[in-house]
Amino acid sequence: MSILQVMNLGLKRYYEVLKLQEELVKKRLENKIPDTLIITEHPPVITFGFNKKWNKMHVSIDELAKRGVEFYYSSRGGGATCLAPGTIVCYTIIDLNERKISIGNYMNLIEKVMLNVFSSYNLKAYIRTGFNPTTQRPYKGVWYFYNEKENKLGAKGVFIKKCNGRDVTMYGFSMYFKKEGLQYFDLIDHCGFKREQVGVISMEDILGYTPNKEDVVKKIVESFKKELNYDFVKNYILKEVACLHTATK
């Protein structure tokens, strides 16, 4: 029986959840825990991906600090991005070998998970065809046409840790459910795009109301379970997560 454990952490600092991810990846490689989906929000933070030429910020790190925005380099794919309250961030600790899926198929499944959730709110989100003019690579993430232009509604970026013939993912995907925090995207070129080339939009902007976060999270878990074909979901409560984090230090 395949199990997906889910950790719904609420609002946590980026670095704190990064350390938790690293600990869980190690345990997953050792087969001590099942696949894990971490769901969280972060105080404002800008992160750079491993491809340096796609990382561009329009203010200094000192200026970010003055604005209360943290900054970190990241090992995930893609370029600069922003995470803030109002963005549901999903970190995935998944053994691809055990699920019998390739990294390419996994990236497609992440997009399908997001599309399922948006569709449940009657949002006609889509996968954008063509190539990013800056990176010369296919467009990534989930998009929505609004105000006469294509806008990013969900993003993705992963890193694969390899050990003893196992490929375990970390990082994952993010979905913009509230417009709160989206103003920080003005500080960067998002994932290699020039600021004038792409918009970022939230479910709240489109729907005209703020969707219930608990409902969105529930739909994410249901969609993830379905698309990756798990038999059972185990939900950790916050106290259990804190104990696990302490035990792995």
Tell me the catalytic residues.
191
SS (H, E, C) the chain: CCEEEEEEEEECCHHHHHHHHHHHHHHHHCCCCCEEEEEEECCCEEEECCCHHHCEECCCHHHHHHCCCEEEECCCCCCCEEECCCEEEEEEECEHHHHCCCHHHHHHHHHHHHHHHHHHCCCCCECCCCECCCCCCECCCEEEEECCEEEEEEEEEEEEEEECCEEEEEEEEEEECCCCCHHHHHHEEHHHCCHHHCEECCHHHHHCCCCCHHHHHHHHHHHHHHHCCCCEEEEECHHHHHHHHHHCC
